[in-house]
A = this chain, B = another copy of it.
Amino acid sequence: MKLSDVVATLEQIAPPELAEDFDIGRIGLTLDLENDIQKIAVSLDPTRYVLKRAADIGADLLITHHTLIFHPLNLINKPLAEILRIALDNNISLYSMHTNLDKAKGGINDALARRIGLSNIVDTAVGKIGTVSSCPAETFVNHVAKSLDTHVQFTGRKEEISKVMVFGGSGFRNEYLAVAKQYDVDAYVSAELKHDIIRSWEDMLLVDATHYATENPGMQDLCTVLEEKLRLDVEFIDHNPFIEVL
């Protein structure tokens, strides 16, 4: 299948126009090697490990959530050269879907909401909101940890949880939490919780379920969608950073 046809399908799944302004240059083909696509690899980050694995399984295209070169650069250092070398030697093109996939129907946030088992899912400008059958905060937190197979951190005063908002990745931002507040949400599930956020939103249950575990489901689900739409071999590569807690 021609790369341009694959790209057309990817743009239909997560239209680039949905991306945030700060994502200029981080969406779409970021390494364009014009090959005929037989096999696709999908992963969260284009790390050295992931590229190597993609080469081992014979992928022609690697689709990731985070782009290879986040901040524009004009120096190529050794770790980057190493990754490029693997891609070039094995003719693997790179394609990124970032904030456009966050918001897309069936994208990062949708997948996260479904993995946690939310009902009555509705769309907001920033994340997804849904409900769980009313339960104590601790029960809910345990459920999140198990559903996403991760440790979690949590804080905030809520006792009974029913309405939940989710945002995959680094979603603990004041402007997002203000939206959650407007919807009278009981719990907010995202990652990379920071001190000033904890101080400002004390009366909501804040659950930090790690960047990886909240975004990964969306990339996993993407595999199934792509296989159906493209009738190509698509393989997910898992590269967990293995954060541990004591």
B interface footprint on A215-246 (CB within 8 Å = 1, 0 otherwise): 00000000000000000000000000111111
- Judged by a CB distance under 8 angstroms, whether A2 is at the interface is no
- Give the complex CA separation of A194 and B192 in angstroms: 6
Chain A stretch 132-153: residues in CB contact (< 8 A) with chain B:
141-142, 145, 151-153
User: Known contacts being A81-B31, A192-B194, is A243 close to B88, with CB within 8 Å?
Assistant: no
User: Known contacts being A81-B31, A169-B195, A241-B155, is A67 close to B73, with CB within 8 Å?
Assistant: no
- Judged by a CB distance under 8 angstroms, whether A56 is at the interface is no
The answer to whether B47 touches A155, judged by C-beta atoms less than 8 angstroms apart, is: no
- Give the complex CA separation of A75 and B84 in angstroms: 12
The answer to whether B244 touches A154, judged by C-beta atoms less than 8 angstroms apart, is: yes
- Judged by a CB distance under 8 angstroms, whether A126 is at the interface is no
Query: By DSSP majority rule, is chain A's interface helix, strand, loop, or mixed?
Result: loop
B interface footprint on A36-72 (CB within 8 Å = 1, 0 otherwise): 0000000001010000000000000000001111111
Chain A interface residue number, banded = 35 or more
- Give the complex CA separation of A243 and B151 in angstroms: 13
Name the contact of A84 in the complex, choosing from B74, B84, B241, B242 (C-beta under 8 A). Answer: B84
The answer to whether A245 touches B153, judged by C-beta atoms less than 8 angstroms apart, is: yes
- Give the complex CA separation of A165 and B190 in angstroms: 28
Chain A stretch 75-94: residues in CB contact (< 8 A) with chain B:
75-78, 81, 84-85, 88-89
Residues of A within 8 A of B (CB): 25-26, 28-34, 45, 47, 66-78, 81, 84-85, 88-89, 141-142, 145, 151-155, 169-170, 191-196, 198-199, 202, 210-212, 241-246
